[in-house]
Amino acid sequence: MMSPALFLLALITLVPFFSIIWMSFNDVSLMGGLAFEFSGLDNWQRVFTDPDIRSSWLISLVYFLATVGLEMVIGTVMALLVYSLTRGSNIIISLLLIPMFIAPVIVGLLGRFMLDPSHGLYAWLLNETGLFDGNILGSVGSAMVAVILMDVWEWTPLVALIVLAGLASVPEDTLEAAEMDGAKYGQKLLYIILPSISNILLVALLIRAMDAIRFFAIIFITTNGGPADSTKIIPIRLYDIAFRFFDLGYAAAVGITMLVFSIMVATAFTKLLKRQETSS
């Protein structure tokens, strides 16, 4: 009964999974038809010694910490503000969520348009106010800030939405009890609200972290890793290796390290979540 389904499952997940592992031990060429040439651990040795890969991982880490950190902080503040509204919160939430529904590629295109040195609105504003003069996406440093902010703009609402759901579950009378105990808003936030929603915050963090590791579209469409590889996070590097240099065996090895890293992050989070649950 189950065999057709299992067969299909094998076809779309297991076969690619194992073939990519096999690919990572081969020199794969596409010229004159697909050809595998066994190369042992050559690709894996490169993964761990290639300075380009190392710098891409570092850029990824910076990118990861900056985007996820900003999204968590701004998203939480946004949720607290919306939650404190007495009226109109529904329409505000709907408006806040709009960025989330725009495809990342479109966000990238929008960003490119707004930051264009000759006719971009933001480029003009920054130039007029004297804050930044020059090609934003074309300069090391500013390009990284720009792509980070684009990601933050798109995904902060998701964090806000998740945190908002968490806030709704903080019992009103617990907050009132704290108020009667003499807690000011900041103390309520620190001692009651944040500990109560710490699980939800972890979930939001997990979702965003998993996304940030494999993040691709915005950078691909805006800087494509440039200038001077300053925004070349690991997925962009992987794309280059695979589809610009067609070094598919090496790309497979890089892809597997990304997968392992994702699994490690997810495991760490679920462990944290479990610990939270048993302690509270």
Distance CA 116, CA 75 (A): 28
DSSP state of 28: E
Which residues sit opposite 35 in a β-bridge? 29
Question: Which residues in 21-40 contact another protein (CB under 8 A)?
Answer: none
Quick one: 1 or 180, whose CB is closer to another protein?
180
Distance CA 80, CA 254 (A): 40
Q: How far is the CB of 278 from another protein (least distance, A)?
A: 10
Q: How far is the CB of 134 from another protein (least distance, A)?
A: 50
Quick one: 183 or 203, whose CB is closer to another protein?
183
Q: Is 163 helix (H, G, I), strand (E, B) or coil?
A: helix
Interaction mask 220-259, another protein, x per CB under 8 A: ----------------------------------------
Question: Which residues in 160-199 contact another protein (CB under 8 A)?
Answer: 171, 173-174, 176-183, 187, 191-192, 195-196
Quick one: 33 or 88, whose CB is closer to another protein?
88
Distance CA 74, CA 151 (A): 13
Cα distance from N-terminal residue to C-terminal residue, the chain: 44
CB distance 28 to 248 below 8 Å: yes
Q: How far is the CB of 83 from another protein (least distance, A)?
A: 18
Q: Is 146 helix (H, G, I), strand (E, B) or coil?
A: helix
Does residue 267 bind another protein (CB under 8 A)?
no
Contact positions vs another protein (CB under 8 A): 171, 173-174, 176-183, 187, 191-192, 195-196, 279-280
